[in-house]
Structure 1
């Protein structure tokens, strides 16, 4: 089993950054998922690939856990989000590229 260590991104359904401070160790699937011919459900051979997610307070703790249990792992660095400041008055600026209409 191969493990992936990453910091989860902010979901699109919230404006805050909840649940993005911890690091997650997640196992990647060794085999591809397949569709059950009878029910049409997607299934996998192993439980760890889709259901086991370990959370750690820091990246070092996650790496130490993987090394202690002799798990091969990959670290995905978190992407830095650059804030794009906006003001309401920019909707009515003369330099606006498109006219403001309803």
Structure 2
């Protein structure tokens, strides 16, 4: 399909584009398109826990998940990395590697962290997967307005002692 055809298709109304796409498709027959129109999507769905269908071993499937909103980095002043929610798992048995002294684990999901846009998305994922979970609510930050000029304002009373060395 050339660029001119793509642009002309993009400028057409949606119904024309659907009809054009159906006419170009070899997999849809007129009978299928009638059946496609007859089916209406429903909002109510019966969800099956994904751990039943996943085939994962039970020791992996029954981890406890922690859902939290990460704190802002101490080395940065902005809050860019804190507007999402994370789901991670508790660490199971660890041991010290005798050769190098590194900590080792046989847990395959210990380093797994999944990001979500909202807390509800993370909770829904944990429920669908059949994970036990707990939610760690974010700590409220309180900051007071600081003005540089206050360092030089006059105030009655004893002078503050400022040590420089």
TM-score range, shorter chain: 0.7 to 0.9
Structure 1 counterpart of 2:160 = 98
Q: Which structure has the bigger radius of gyration?
A: 2
1:8 match? 70
Q: CA RMSD in A?
A: 1.8
Sort the Cα spacing of 1:4 and 1:89 in 2 relative to 1 into closer, same or farther, 3 A. same
| CA distance 1:59–1:97, shift in 2 (3 Å) | farther
Q: Distance in 2 between matches of 1:45 and 1:9?
A: 28
Q: What TM-score do the two structures reach when normalised by structure 1?
A: 0.88
Q: Say which of 77, 80, 94 aligns to 2:140.
A: 80
Closer, same or farther: CA 83–97 of 1 in aligned 2, 3 Å: farther
Using structure 2 for the length normalisation, give the TM-score: 0.56
**Shift of the alpha carbon at 1:36?**
0.7
Structure 1 residue 38 and structure 2 residue 90: aligned? no
8 Å Cα contact 1:92/1:100 also seen in 2: no
The whole-number CA distance in structure 2 between the counterparts of 1:14 and 1:97 is 34
1:49-60 to 2 correspondences below 5 Å: 49=110, 51-60=111-120
Q: How many residues align?
A: 100
Q: CA, structure 1 residues 97+78, in 2 after alignment: closer, same or farther (shift >3 Å)?
A: farther
Is the 2:92–2:105 contact (alpha carbons within 8 Å) kept by the matching residues of 1? no
Offset of residue 97 of structure 1: 7.1
Which structure is higher in strand share? Answer: 1
Q: Mark the runs of 5 or more structure 2 residues left unpaired by the alignment.
A: 1-62
Q: Which whole-Å deviations, capped at 9, do the CAs of 1:12-61 have from their partners, x for residues lacking one?
A: 11110011000000011122x22111111111121211x10000000000
Pick the aligned partner of 1:29 from 80, 88, 91. 91
- Moved runs in structure 1, 4+ residues, more than 4 A? none
1:84, distance to aligned residue in structure 2 (A): 1.6
